[in-house]
């Protein structure tokens, strides 16, 4: 049997060392062994967020952490702004509307980022807002919003909290929570953090804690004050995903072994450039412009005159290369090339080579080897 070559935006491949770490014996989540594991792991994770704040662990998917960020800070009837540039920005809208918040949506076309120049007048028109919800990396379109610039504008124009979805990029993109003024930063385990699904991580600023302490949250399981209280004891309020915490500890060690988080970020940036250069050499259009392109996922338009669904199925069935399709109105129009977490330049060269083979099967006209050569040239230039 061939292994599936998973080049998705999540779940993503898991390193063998992480798999082995997760196979260790289970112990009680109320034991001294767990307290040691928890505290060591949470200290190691802080550089990935760029924060001195404690990290909270939720035994959940990333969406639950997004909901926790909303319900712990905002009450029904209060005004918020949601910046939405794709499907996952729309998630934030749905969560906020479900809890009865008064939502002002700043909507961009899918494939475009939101700029500070666009956000500023929108905020000025809504002076009563309590929070601004922003997706850092929009998985559905491969956009990386300029989160530092957006957070700065929010703080210049309002007293609102900046709440950021970093689910599909934390661990592979620059993150300076404290320096950028992010108040709640959320991510999940199954993407750039190289773990199976089932663990969410939340970092909260001092300013956000002051708001949370005054807010009458209706949530029990997602009550962040409860998580903070238990974190002070080196535990979680409910039974945690102990095996995933084992794995997260090992992930942090792998990042250290790579040379630190800056090197991990540089690898993701390099892979992004390799993929984009390859597609351009093959005359396949990209959904996003270079300036706001994600370092963890690239959205690629269907090659000309090719039935995308048939093409993706052929890639998976014949070459065992598994890309993600488009979401929403982009379904059937784009595919998404994930290059995050346990992924390296050699993996990019492999995927581009197999993509070229499938293009030949579909009689797509291009210069054979052009994509691989372009990606290889980007890689070699980075080694000089």
CATH number at residue 278: 3.90.1150.10
And the tokens for 3?
Answer: 């292994």
Could you write out the DSSP letters of every residue in 320-355? -EEEEE--GGGTTTEEEEE--SS--HHHHHHHHHHH
Whether 240 and 284 share a structural domain: no
Q: Domain for residue 243, yes or no?
A: yes
pLDDT bin (cut points 50, 70, 90) of residue 329 is very high
Do 272 and 303 fall within a single domain? Answer: yes
Residue where a domain stops, chosen among 256, 284, 319: 256
User: Same domain for 244 and 305?
Assistant: no
Please tell me whether residues 191 and 324 are part of one structural domain. no
- Start-to-end C-alpha separation, the chain: 39
Dump pLDDT digits (tens) for 134-149.
999 999 999 999 999 9
Cβ(191)–Cβ(167) below 8 Å: yes
* Residue 111 is assigned to a structural domain of this protein: yes
Do 243 and 343 sit in the same domain of this protein?
no
Taking a C-beta distance cutoff of 8 angstroms, is the pair 80, 132 a contact?
Answer: yes
- Domain membership of residue 356 (yes or no) is yes
Q: In what helix (H) or strand (E) does residue 309 lie, and over which residues does it extend?
A: helix 308-319
Do 357 and 295 share a structural domain?
yes
Residue 112 lies in a domain: yes
204-216: average pLDDT = 96
Residue 75: inside a domain: yes
Same domain? For 24 and 171 the reply is yes
**CA 275 distance to own-chain centroid:** 18
Looking at the fold, whether 265 and 133 belong to one and the same domain comes out as no
Residue 2 pLDDT exceeds 70: no
Domain range for 350? 261-383
Mapped onto helix, strand or coil, the DSSP state of residue 143 is strand
Residue 32 resides in a domain: yes
Q: Which of 212, 238, 256 is the last residue of a domain?
A: 256
Q: Is the pLDDT of residue 368 over 80?
A: yes
Judge whether residue 369 has pLDDT over 70. yes
The tens digit of pLDDT for each residue in 253-311 reads: 999 999 999 999 999 999 999 999 999 999 999 999 999 999 999 999 999 999 999 99
**Gap between the Cα atoms of 256 and 49, Å rounded:** 15
Same domain membership, residue 250 and residue 273:
no
Residue range 285-301, pLDDT digits in tens: 999 999 999 999 999 99
Over range 67-73, report the average pLDDT. Answer: 97
Q: How many domains does the chain have?
A: 2
Model confidence over 11-55: pLDDT tens digits?
999 999 999 999 999 999 999 999 999 999 999 999 999 999 999
pLDDT (average), residues 229-250: 96
**Residues counted in the chain:** 384
Residues 6+ apart with CB under 8 A from 117: none
3-state secondary structure of 258: helix
**Which residue in the block uniquely carries the two structure tokens 């028109």?**
125
- Output the pLDDT for position 138: 97
Residue 2 falls within a domain, yes or no?
no
CB 317 within 8 A of CB 310: no
Co-location of 178 and 294 in the same domain? no
Q: Is pLDDT of 1 > 60?
A: no
User: Exposure string (b/e) for 222-242, b if CB count within 10 Å is 16 or more?
Assistant: bbbebbbebbeeebbbeebbb
CA dihedral 138, 54, 66, 198 (to 10 degrees): 90
Flag whether 246 is in a domain. Answer: yes
Distances (CA, A) of 168 to 9, 43, 116, 194, 227: 7, 21, 22, 11, 23
Looking at the structure, do residues 246 and 273 belong to the same domain, yes or no?
no
What is the domain-level CATH number for residue 214? 3.40.640.10
368-383 burial by CB neighbour count: b if 16+ within 10 A, else e? Answer: eebbbbbbbebbeeee
Query: Quick one: DSSP state of residue 142?
Result: T
Average of per-residue pLDDT values in the chain:
96
Report residue 308 as tokens. Answer: 């995308």
Percent of the chain with pLDDT over 70: 99
What is the CB neighbour count within 10 angstroms for residue 139? 26
Output the pTM of the full model. Answer: 0.97
Instruction: Look up tokens 């995050």; give the residue.
Output: 340
Q: Give yes or no: residues 82 and 102 share one domain.
A: yes
Domain boundary among 211, 230, 256: 256
């Amino acid at each position: 049997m061939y292994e599936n070559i998973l080049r998705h935006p999540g779940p993503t491949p898991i390193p063998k060392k992480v798999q082995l770490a997760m196979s260790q014996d289970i112990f009680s989540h109320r034991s001294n062994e767990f307290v040691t594991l928890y505290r060591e792991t949470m200290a190691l994770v802080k550089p990935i967020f760029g924060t001195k704040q404690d990290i909270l662990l939720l035994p959940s998917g990333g969406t639950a952490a997004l909901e926790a960020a909303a319900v712990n800070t905002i009450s029904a009837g209060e005004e918020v702004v949601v910046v939405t540039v794709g499907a996952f920005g729309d998630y934030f809208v749905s969560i906020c509307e479900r809890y009865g918040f008064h939502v002002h949506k700043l909507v961009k076309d899918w494939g475009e980022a939101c700029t500070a120049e666009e956000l500023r007048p929108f905020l000025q028109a809504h002076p009563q807002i309590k929070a601004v919800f922003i997706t850092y990396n929009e998985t559905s379109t491969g956009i990386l919003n300029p989160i530092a610039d957006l957070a700065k504008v929010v703080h210049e124009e309002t007293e609102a909290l900046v709440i950021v979805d970093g689910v599909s990029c934390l661990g592979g993109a620059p993150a300076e929570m404290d320096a950028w003024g992010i108040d709640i930063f959320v991510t999940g385990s199954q993407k750039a953090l190289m773990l199976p699904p089932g663990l969410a991580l939340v970092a909260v600023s001092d300013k956000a804690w002051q708001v949370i302490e005054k807010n009458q949250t209706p949530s029990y399981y997602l009550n962040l004050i409860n998580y903070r209280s238990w974190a002070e004891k080196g535990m979680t309020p409910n039974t945690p995903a102990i095996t995933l915490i084992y794995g997260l500890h090992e992930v942090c060690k792998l990042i250290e072994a790579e040379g630190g988080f800056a090197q991990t970020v540089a690898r993701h940036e390099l892979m992004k450039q390799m993929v984009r250069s390859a597609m351009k050499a093959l005359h396949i259009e990209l959904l996003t412009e270079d300036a706001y392109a994600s370092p963890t996922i690239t959205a690629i338009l269907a090659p000309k005159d090719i039935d995308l669904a048939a093409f993706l199925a052929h890639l998976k069935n014949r070459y065992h290369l598994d890309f993600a399709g488009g979401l929403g109105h982009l379904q059937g129009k784009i595919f998404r090339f994930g290059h995050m977490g346990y992924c390296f330049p050699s993996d990019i060269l492999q995927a581009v080579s197999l993509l070229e083979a499938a293009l030949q099967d579909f009689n797509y006209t291009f210069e054979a080897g052009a994509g691989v050569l372009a990606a290889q040239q980007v890689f070699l230039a980075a080694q000089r």
